[in-house]
Amino acid sequence: MTTPQKTILFLCTGNYYRSRFAEELFNSLATERLPAWKAVSRALAIDRGFQNHGPISIHALNELARRNLFLTHPIREPLQCMEVDLADADHIIALKEEEHRPQLEKSFPIWTDRVEYWHIHDVDQASPEESLGAIFSQVDRLILELASDSQA
């Protein structure tokens, strides 16, 4: 019997840097410990990413490569969050409460309090090393929690 797939949804503003790194990192690190889980990511305000070049941040790609992790599927363009993405997720994480809670309140108000909020700065407020390192720590903690919950 196959275990049903569970989904983590990572949200950020443009689905280009933080949420994409979190998605790829989770899918790489959780493969063996949490085979029933997968991560996806979406943008809350994709139109704000007009200055982004390419489908994913070079900072995210470089940090994945530095950790000897590689994309788990072909590189795709950023995707805008839709109501169905929220409804299909078993767990939703927005990468920075101060930034993303207002975006959720505006676009998806009934979901605002169903989201776990992290506090990961974008490149305008912290270096990629600092932000991506913080995402690594949070994803690692999340995997430990989910693995512990699945054994209980």
pLDDT in tens, 99-121: 999 999 999 999 999 999 999 99
In this predicted structure, what is the pLDDT of residue 72? 67
Contact between 41 and 11 under an 8 Å Cβ cutoff? The reply is: yes
Give a three-class secondary structure readout of 13-63: CCCCCHHHHHHHHHHHHCCCCCCCEEEEEEECCHHHHCCCCCCCCHHHHHH
In this predicted structure, what is the pLDDT of residue 4? 66
Distance (Å) of CA 110 to CA 42, 66, 101, 113, 144: 17, 39, 12, 7, 29
In this predicted structure, what is the pLDDT of residue 81? 98
In this predicted structure, what is the pLDDT of residue 3? 60
Rounded to whole angstroms, how far apart are CA atoms 126 and 109? 28
**Banded pLDDT at 2 (limits 50, 70, 90):** low
Residues 6+ apart with CB under 8 A from 95: 10, 11, 12, 18, 19, 22, 118, 120, 135
* Domains of the chain with CATH codes: 6-151 (3.40.50.2300)
| Average confidence (pLDDT) over 128-138 | 97
Is the whole model's pTM more than 0.75, yes or no?
Answer: yes
Q: Among the listed ranges 36-45, 46-55, 113-122, which one has the minimum average pLDDT value?
A: 46-55
